[in-house]
Structure formats: structure tokens, C-alpha cells
Amino acid sequence: MYVAVKGGETAIANAHQLLADRRRGNRELPAIAIEQIVEQLALSVDRVMAEASLYDRSLAALAVKQSRGDLIEAIFLLRAYRTTLPRFGTSEPIDTARMQIERRVSATYKDLPGGQLLGPTFDYTHRLLDPDLLHDTPVEAPAGRTDADEPVMRVSEILAGEGLIEADGELPADHVAGDLTREPMEFPMTRDLRLQALARGDEGFLLALGYSTQRGYGRTHPFVGEIRIGLVDIELDVPELGFAVSLGEILVTECQMVNQFKGSAKASPQFTRGYGLVFGQSERKAMSMSLVDRALRTQEFGEDVVAPAQDEEFVISHCDNVQATGFVEHLKLPHYVDFQAELDLVRRMRAKHAQPHDHQEAAE
């Protein structure tokens, strides 16, 4: 006999216990330490910090551990923590010209003031599995640089000297940077909010959209003006003190994409820019972001919106992986009440459909 199902609570508790067991894995192996994740899976930690919009290596590493290495789950964990944190102020804009540079490359110049600096990159490695890593093989100390503290001018400044590239743009003096985690989104968005959405947007989604612009869906003729990775100071203006104090430094990746613009009736031909800035080291994300940022500025330049990457509502509404995964995965929640309604409808429609062929015994 059928008995109405009970036991959801026990089932959930048991499932969580099993999850904890699977997360820990074989007990004979030592548990992975947070410090190990911070040090040795640094790029996972970076991605989690970037897309959770919270710069905290230890918490991000904890999230990676807790999520069994599922980075979107880790991003979700960290965001759910972030949302409970109080806001005690807004930092001064970071100055990437004063970045302590670890990597800096430009594709538009062979050489330039400050030089090309490869830094810790996978580029030019041969993707051969390295059997040495099966063991804890000693690693040599890297070569350092002596001139590390000198400011390095940005490529956009080189082009700006000739007026060849659009300027940074002006904001009204009373402009307060938006915060899409505290205010409801509205379309069309201002660029600060759009960049914020892209900065925490899904790396894979932005990568695919950026890629689509390269394959003809909203072409932007991009060149990597510059990518730079390094530490920047975070400063907070403290009203009681009357000056800005440094809160510490964070690692960021900045990409300035330089794009062709043929000019319009109003504006002379000039290079335009797409901008990407991401917590930690993630060139793929910063580059994708700058491609998509430029694509989303289509209307600003009087160009036609013809491709998905140029469509602000489409891109911004769907770039958040925590939202996306939640809504996609919610389909596994019970929907049997609605399904019942559909069953009923389909049965009725089938019955009616059968009628013309079978006048005598109409179904039902």
C-alpha cells in the first residue's frame, strides 16, 4: 500500500554525511591543508576570489577544499559569506601604473618603456606531462629583477600622446561607483556596473563570447595593447585622518585591448579600448573580459548590435555562473505538481486529437 513519503530530513542528513565522507576521501592519505591549496593551486584560488568578488586567499582555499575542487561551488560558498560582510568604505581607485609588475606583455609594440616581462606564464611551455611532479622534486629559486620598483607606463599612455586612442573618459565629479551586489540591476547599465558584472562573470562564458567576436559575431579587430599582472596598493581615504591609508596590496591582472574604430560622423578615426581587470592571475579572464567590454560598447560608437556579445541584456543577465548554475540545477527539484498539470493537458489534447478518426467512442 502506498504511504505518503516521509523522511526528507533523514535523507538530507545522510546525504550530507556521505558528501563529507567523499570529500575527505581515503583516510590513510593526509588531509590537504589550506596553505597547500593557497600555495599550490593558486590559480584555482584566484578564480574563486575573482568570481566571488572577495579577495581573501585563505577563505577561497577553504571554499575550494569544501567544494571538493568544484570551483563554481567554491565561488558560491565564498559569495554567500561575502554577502554578510559589512561595508565600511570604498577604496580609492587602484593605480595600475604603480603596480609592482610580475608580468607585462604588449602585442602592439616590439619593445616599449618598461620592457616586455614574461613572468610566471604557461605560454611557451610544451604541454608535456611532467613525471617529475609525481614526486616532490626540488625546484630552483627563480631569477629576480633589480629595477622592480620603478613605475611602468601603460601602453594606452603611449598611444594617447598622439591622440590615436580614446581617453579614459570622464565621470561626473559626484559619480559614485555602483555596486551591483547592493543595488538592483537596471538596463541599460553604466559602464562601471557593466565592468563589475563582467569582473565577477563566469570565465568560460566570457571566454566563449570573446571568442565569438573573433570569429565574426561582432568583430572588434582587437590587439592586446597590454596585459599586466602584479601587486597594487589598496588605499582607503579615512575622513578622520584627512588622507588615504594603505590597507594592503592585492594581485590583479589588467588587460587593455586596443580596437580599431573607423570613426563616425561625430568622431574621427581612433583606436578604442576594451578593459579587463580581474583579481589574481588570470589572463584568460582579463582578455575575454576586455573583448566583451569592447563589444558591449557597440552602441556607444554608433555601431549596430548584431551579435550576442554586443547585447548588454543578454551578456550581463547570463554571465553570472552562481545564478546560472542555481537556476539550471533547480530543474532537479521536484516539479511534479506542474508536471501533473501538463500530463492532464496532454492527455486531454491526445483524446481530442483521436476524436476525428474515431467518432463513435470519444475518449474520456
Point out which residues bind another protein (CB under 8 A).
1-2, 4-9, 11-12, 76, 79-80, 82-84, 86, 181-188, 313, 317, 322-323, 325-330, 333-338, 340-345, 348-349, 352
Alpha carbon separation from 106 to 22, 155, 158, 164 (Å, rounded): 45, 8, 12, 17
**Share in percent of the chain as helix, strand, coil (round to 5):** 40, 15, 45
The CA distance from 210 to 261, in Å, is 18
Q: How far is the CB of 131 from another protein (least distance, A)?
A: 40
Helices then strands (H, E): number in the chain? 12, 4
Q: Which is nearer to another protein, 251 or 309 (by Cβ)?
A: 309
Q: Rounded to whole angstroms, what are the CA distances from 277 to 82, 95, 181, 291, 324?
A: 20, 12, 18, 12, 22
Pick 28 or 364: Cβ nearer another protein? 364
Q: For CA atoms 310, 192, 184, 49, give the dihedral sign.
A: positive
Q: Least Å distance between CB 185 and another protein? A: 7
Q: How far is the CB of 86 from another protein (least distance, A)?
A: 8
Name the residue nearer to another protein (CB basis): 36 or 355.
Answer: 355
CB 66 within 8 A of CB 45: no
Given the complex with another protein, which of 130 and 186 has the nearer CB atom? Answer: 186
In angstroms, what is the minimal distance from the CB of 129 to another protein?
A: 35
Contact 106, 112 (CB under 8 A): yes
Smaller CB separation from another protein, 1 or 128: 1
Spell out the alpha helix ranges (H) of 235-296.
Answer: 283-296
Element (H, E) at 254: strand 243-259
For residue 321, the minimal CB distance to another protein (Å) is 10
* HSE, side-chain direction, 13 A CA sphere, residue 236: 10
Cβ-contact 273, 294 below 8 angstroms: yes
Question: Least distance in Å: CB of 177 to another protein?
Answer: 15
Beta bridge partners of 233: 249
Q: Select 99 or 316, whichever has its Cβ closest to another protein.
A: 316
Nearer to another protein, 9 or 361 (CB): 9
CB of 14 to another protein, least distance (A): 12
Minimum distance from residue 276 beta carbon to another protein (Å): 23
- Which letter does DSSP use for residue 356 in this model? G
Tell me how many degrees the CA angle 223-226-228 measures, rounded to the nearest 5. 145
Give the shortest CB-151-to-another protein separation in angstroms.
37
By beta-carbon proximity to another protein, the closer residue of 100 and 325 is: 325
Q: How far is the CB of 56 from another protein (least distance, A)?
A: 15
Instruction: Return the number of the residue (21 or 179) whose C-beta is nearest another protein.
Output: 179
Residue of 310, 270, 315 lying closest to 294 (CA atoms): 310
Nearer to another protein, 82 or 219 (CB): 82
Nearest to 157 by CA among 214, 100, 199, 113: 113
Range list of H helices, 67-190: 71-82, 155-160
